[in-house]
Amino acid sequence: MKKLSDCFTLANNVSIPCIGFGTWQISDGNSVIQSVLTAIENGYRHIDTAAAYENEKGVGQAIRSCGVKREDIFVTSKLWNSQRGYETTLAAFDRTMADLQLDYLDLYLIHWPANAKQSNDWQKINQETWRAFEKLYKEKRIRAIGVSNFLPHHLEPLLKQAEIKPLVNQIEFHPGYTQQETVDFCKLHRILVEAWSPLGQGKVLAEPELLRLAEKYQKSTAQICVKWCLQSGILPLPKSTTPIRIKENSFVFDFELSTQEIQTINQLPHRWDSGFYPDNIDF
């Protein structure tokens, strides 16, 4: 990736801009509207939201009013856990589109997998949810479909039943928490991995090794994290409400980390993860 407008190519040949702007924990209304507008003004063309973020209305308003053609902006949203299942998924998608006030979605994700802690029928729940996703995809209401926070043992039964394979898996991924088994599984099956919380919710930014690299390249530690994701073949979704940080997080194309530096970051000890483990969540 050489510039912000460069794209990854999904298995269905849809192009997805290489850095997304995350909106988790940005409240609806003026806050998210201004943040998304700032991101778009600074060249971002990939915006990530979710029903659970409760900011789809503001995100949609920003996209509609930004002055950039709709087809030039890649928009992602996600299905919340309480809406899993075939009919409930279809209804939830309609609500998301009503809130966004957009004609189509570029990417729709199952936010979290149903798990054995929640239901003995967790595999069937995921499969029925996915069947609704496939229907929406075939109807061309969504350009790409995928999942979020799915581990290999969640993906395997889904892949066995799926007519259309997931194109994306959005997972927590940052220095100190790389989920390598899941990343390897996804790459094997041509599922693009996206990184939510690529800055570890800010916890990684004081890591001495990252600070050393930031000083070497005259960059911020956040920029080191974003660049490391990209060079690892992972699509990062950095989030900020501060205009200078929004701009800074995308200025990562004028330096390259060495193979050894990538490896050093990869080998940082396990820490800074959110504690939201897909098999343990009960929300």
Report which of 207, 152, 148 is spatially closest to residue 174, judged by C-alpha positions.
Answer: 207
- Give the span between the Cα atoms of 197 and 24, in whole angstroms: 9
Q: Which helix (H) or strand (E) holds 22?
A: strand 21-22
Residue 53: active-site member = yes
Of the listed 53, 108, 137, 177, which one is catalytic? 53
- Give the span between the Cα atoms of 6 and 22, in whole angstroms: 18
Q: What's the Cα-to-Cα distance from 225 to each of 103, 177, 190, rounded to whole Å? A: 34, 12, 23
- Residue 192: strand pairing partners: 168
- Give the span between the Cα atoms of 267 and 259, in whole angstroms: 12
- Residue that has been written with the tokens 């899993």 in this structure: 84
SS3 content of the chain, % helix, strand, coil (to 5): 45, 15, 40
- Catalytic residue annotation: 53
